[in-house]
Amino acid sequence: MIVSNRMRLWLALSLISPGFYSALGANPGNYPGDQLGGETMTGFRNMLTHFQGPGPGNELRQLTLLAIAQDGNHAQFSGDGTAAHPDLYDREALAVLPFQSSPKRFVIPVYVMTRDLLTLYEPSQPASDIGRFDLPNETFRIALGNLPETTAAPTVSAFDPLRNETTPAKLLARNGNTAEVEFAATDYPRLLTLAYPGGRTVG
């Protein structure tokens, strides 16, 4: 499908809260302020802040995803029990998208590519709480390869840009240029970060 520049502009502007346009219409000569941009724009700002850095420089690395596991067997949909039509488990729909923000810092958006945005997971929450449609936290473990081989282990953390808060993440194991990490994911991007110390690189 070919998307015109006009359509791209409309899609971009539709991310901004209607309150921003209302304030602009009421006072055309005054900028309404970033705070009226809405939850989506605030989330984008929080997310982009975590990607800041000088880039990989001469130490560019293409990470490899060696394994994915999840706690439990929550699935996006159930098959019919045959090999031709199996269940689609969340681990099979987990997006892992590494970005190298500096020679020894990797920011990795992770999320479950849900097939259904209308599942109401928290029906007891008020209608104004859009988080009631979010996939509840699921624990995943991934093994990554081609990481820096440093004398000290990396610091592992995770951040939710929409809620502007840290989320569970930890290093489970490390061997040479591979590492296994555990984190909590949902159906929108969180940022898993591996930050290596500035000490000696051995590989």
What does residue 20 show for φ and ψ, rounded to 5 degrees?
-65, -45
Instruction: Dump pLDDT digits (tens) for 44-90.
Output: 888 889 999 999 999 999 999 999 999 998 888 888 888 889 888 88
pLDDT at 162 over 80: yes
pTM: 0.82
Which runs of consecutive H residues, i.e. helices, occur in 60-189?
Answer: none
Q: What is the identity of the amino acid at 84?
A: A
Residue-wise pLDDT for 143-158, tens only, equals 999 999 999 999 999 9
Q: At 70, which amino acid appears?
A: Q
Quick one: pLDDT band at residue 176, thresholds 50, 70, 90?
Answer: very high
Q: Token pair of 169, please?
A: 């993440």
Please state which of the four CATH numbers 2.60.40, 3.40.50, 3.30.1490, 2.40.128 is assigned to the domain occupying 53-195.
2.60.40
Contact 188, 144 (CB under 8 A): no
User: Does the pLDDT value for residue 96 go beyond 50?
Assistant: yes
- Return the domain boundaries, the chain: 5-37, 53-195
